[in-house]
Chain A
Amino acid sequence: MEESPTKNDYTNQAKDKIFNEEFMPHIRAMYNFAHRLTYDEDDAKDLVQDTFMKSYRFINSFQQGTNAKAWLFRIMKNSFINDFRKKSKQPTKVDYQEVEGYYNSEGTQKAVTTDLRIDTVKNLIGDEITNALAALDIDFRTVIILCDLEGFTYEEMAKILDIPIGTVRSRLHRARNLLKEKLQSYAQSMGY
């Protein structure tokens, strides 16, 4: 992403400048993303370190002044999938429906009719949101983090996740419905 057609050939000085001025300011967002992927402080630290090391190694394919945050998030997402997911024995689930034009399918209509009410939502506390998000499959959790917490556009998300923009939208839509289902069951168990 943001790759220039011809690779750059930055001097060491330029590399350090890009690294310090364009990459490092995102360390907090990176650490939080890592923590929300791994839910473990040490794993999160490793993942951040790994991501920044890679970003430096591949710095010539980064175009100075472009979207560094999205570029870094993409590296982190790939590192997590390639290295960490394997280690953590998390099964890869592919059992969800993910087709474009999802909006008009029956599943959507059914899924949006949860009984969740606005006052119920207002009564939810941080722990419940945290738990509901954590309970989501990693791919669904990721789109919510990228969109709602980090404020990436659909287009940026498509690049970070290497999926078409239509898939970003349908995955996000599905993720939100799943989150609502979880929140609703919390609310029910709390007697709201």
Chain B
Amino acid sequence: MSLKKLVNEIKFRTGTAKCTEYLELVQRVLDGQASRSQEVYLKRHQKMCLKCLERFNIDQEIKKLIQLKLASREVPEGLAEAIKTKIAKSA
């Protein structure tokens, strides 16, 4: 690893890299698809950067809202039966 790369890597891990460097982690953490260490790097950055912390909280709130407020519809009556009948006929 080159020295520059190494320095960037250390910055990233200690949370002191530029905000844009953490965008991908924000998404991964939000969606529960980050590794343990990735979560730690982001947390370190958010401890020092309120802007990123706030953005993350907003994204998280919107995600929760989508899950809570978008009603799940019941399957229309008879649909499952209609499908099974159609398949029985075709088989």
Contacts and interface: CB of A to CB of B under 8 A. Distances in A.
Given A49-B79, A53-B83, A108-B23, A153 B66 contact: no
A27 interface: yes
Interface of A: 12, 15, 19, 24, 27-28, 31-32, 35, 41, 45, 48-49, 52-53, 56-57, 103-104, 108-109, 112, 116-118, 121-122, 124-126, 129-130, 133, 144, 147-149, 153-154, 169, 172-173, 176, 179-180, 183
Contacts of A129: 65-66, 69-70
Contact of B86 (A27, A49, A112, A147): A49
A45 B72 contact: no
Interface of B: 20, 23-24, 27, 31, 33, 54-55, 57-59, 61-63, 65-67, 69-76, 79-80, 82-83, 86-87, 90-91
Contacts of A179: 62
Given A121-B62, A176-B62, A169 B69 contact: no
Contacts of A133: 66, 70
Given A35-B73, A103-B24, A144 B66 contact: yes
B55 A112 contact: yes
Contacts of A126: 69-71
Contacts of A149: 66-67, 70
